[in-house]
Amino acid sequence: MNRKSVVKGKIHYVGVNDRVKPLFEGLWPLPYGVSYNSYLIDDETIALVDTVDVCYFEIFLRKIKNIIGERPIQYLIINHMEPDHSGSIRLIKQHYPNIVIVGNKQTFGMIEGFYGVTGEQYLVKDGDYLALGHHKLRFYLTPMIHWPETMMTFDETEGILFSGDGFGSFGTLDGGFVDSCINTERHWDEMIRYYSNIVGKYGSAVQKALQKLNDLDVKMICSTHGPIWTGEHLKKVMRMTDRLSRYDADEGVVIVYGTMYGNTEQMAEAIAEELCAQGIKHIVMHNVNKSHSSYIISDIFRYRGLIIGAPTYSNQIYPEVESLLSKILVRDIKDRYLGYFGSFCWAGAAVKRMAEFAEKSRFEVVGDPVEMKQAMKEITYTQCENLGRAMADRLKKDRG
């Protein structure tokens, strides 16, 4: 047995690290990589909780055999069917042909659809129970975090919650996997970025899941991405997830803009300077040509104020800003304050398009939109300052 793999008692970590993939889901940058976490319960009856991306199957299988040798695995518990977690199901089934797959009604159709795998199944409903010997598992259905089949498995014996993608983060696990044994500093921001981009649309579903978990004596959270959380870190993770899923946010402003020749950027600078002069300390500025949308969306989840600016381009809004606006709408973010500004050379369209976005987003619009023709003038500076001041005043009204 490899003692370095022990999570607690007879529960082992058999996950893998991916330091190669540049984009998660083909969309989100992975500057620190990502882990695919799987867990093995070596009890009288052996159970494997989730699998890993199929690219890492050989490493995955070697880790399993280092713990149980040639003994069979009786159960494969599938909390989430996204291929980075379910991708090795077919190969696991080949190596352990008598394995029983544990999942809910939504799970099994996806298994057959993705991998053509059939065979003996253990269908669970919300609150159902499975005894492995010493370990007693209970299943909680948590649909739409962030797929319809998602569920969580709670080991009542050890107080360990196998949470699927819930409470996950980007970033590899370097050397160890339990938070107390590694430097988790980078994982906090990457958890917010992970949540806001992957799960962010489904805040109400997350709130329902948190209510189900509220009465459980959870001592460890074992997600499918990122560190195993314990102690005070576990409490912090739960608090962060609760706030993010309620769309609660800190006082601060995200200024997002597109610019071709720097004129629209000057408008953004003037707004930021006035915000600071009015006592707003947390100001984050993103040029859409430099900042990936995942970082912008993460900051929008973090701060209550949002000011967006764009030039007109081909009688439409600047394309990169248009793309960002669609991503914001998809996430159905709530309770934000919105200001906007734009520029044009001979025919203005950007401000009109952002007005349409404002209506669709249902954000609270503050201040008057600013539209500039060609370049900054004294009146433009004044209008930008007024917009910054209006946002600062609205934020300060929320101070206790």
- Rounded Cα distance, 57 and 76, in Å: 15
Clarify whether residues 122 and 108 are in a common domain: yes
Contact 21, 30 (CB under 8 A): yes
Task: Say whether pLDDT at 162 is over 70.
Answer: yes
The position carrying tokens 């991503």 is 327
Clarify whether residues 155 and 9 are in a common domain: yes
Task: Say whether pLDDT at 1 is over 60.
Answer: no
- Domain count of the fold of the chain: 2
Clarify whether residues 211 and 273 are in a common domain: no
pLDDT, tens only, 268-302: 999 999 999 999 999 999 999 999 999 999 999 99
Residue 68 in any domain: the answer is yes
Residue 156 in any domain: the answer is yes
- Rounded Cα distance, 327 and 322, in Å: 9
Q: What is the pLDDT of residue 293?
A: 98
Contact 135, 157 (CB under 8 A): yes
- Rounded Cα distance, 320 and 290, in Å: 10
Residue 220 in any domain: the answer is yes
Residue 327 in any domain: the answer is yes
Contacts 24+ apart (CB under 8 A), 111-114: 111/78, 111/81, 111/86, 114/81, 114/83, 114/86, 114/89
Give the pLDDT mean for 327-350. 94
Clarify whether residues 319 and 297 are in a common domain: yes
Which residues, listed in sequence order, are joined to residue 58 by a DSSP beta bridge? none
Contact 350, 344 (CB under 8 A): yes
pLDDT, tens only, 22-73: 999 999 999 999 999 999 999 999 999 999 999 999 999 999 999 999 999 9
Clarify whether residues 238 and 289 are in a common domain: no
Contact 363, 306 (CB under 8 A): yes
Counted residue by residue, the chain has a size of: 400
Clarify whether residues 305 and 163 are in a common domain: no
Boundary of a domain, candidates 223, 245, 267: 245
Clarify whether residues 189 and 220 are in a common domain: yes
Residue 400 in any domain: the answer is no
Boundary of a domain, candidates 212, 245, 278: 245
Clarify whether residues 235 and 286 are in a common domain: no
CATH number at residue 321: 3.40.50.360
Give the pLDDT mean for 9-16. 97
Task: Say whether pLDDT at 179 is over 90.
Answer: yes
Q: Work out the pLDDT band at 217, boundaries 50, 70, 90.
A: very high
Task: Say whether pLDDT at 2 is over 70.
Answer: no
What average pLDDT does the chain have? 96
Which residues, listed in sequence order, are joined to residue 103 by a DSSP beta bridge? 123
Clarify whether residues 261 and 356 are in a common domain: yes
Boundary of a domain, candidates 221, 245, 269: 245
Contact 324, 294 (CB under 8 A): no
Q: What is the CA radius of gyration of the chain?
A: 24
CATH number at residue 152: 3.60.15.10
pLDDT, tens only, 378-391: 999 999 999 999 99
Domain that holds residue 286: 250-395
Task: Say whether pLDDT at 97 is over 90.
Answer: yes
Contact 388, 271 (CB under 8 A): yes
Q: What is the pLDDT of residue 15?
A: 98
Clarify whether residues 199 and 241 are in a common domain: yes
Clarify whether residues 65 and 154 are in a common domain: yes
pLDDT, tens only, 220-271: 999 999 999 999 999 999 999 999 999 999 999 999 999 999 999 999 999 9
Closest CA to 79 of 169, 142, 129: 142
Clarify whether residues 211 and 229 are in a common domain: yes
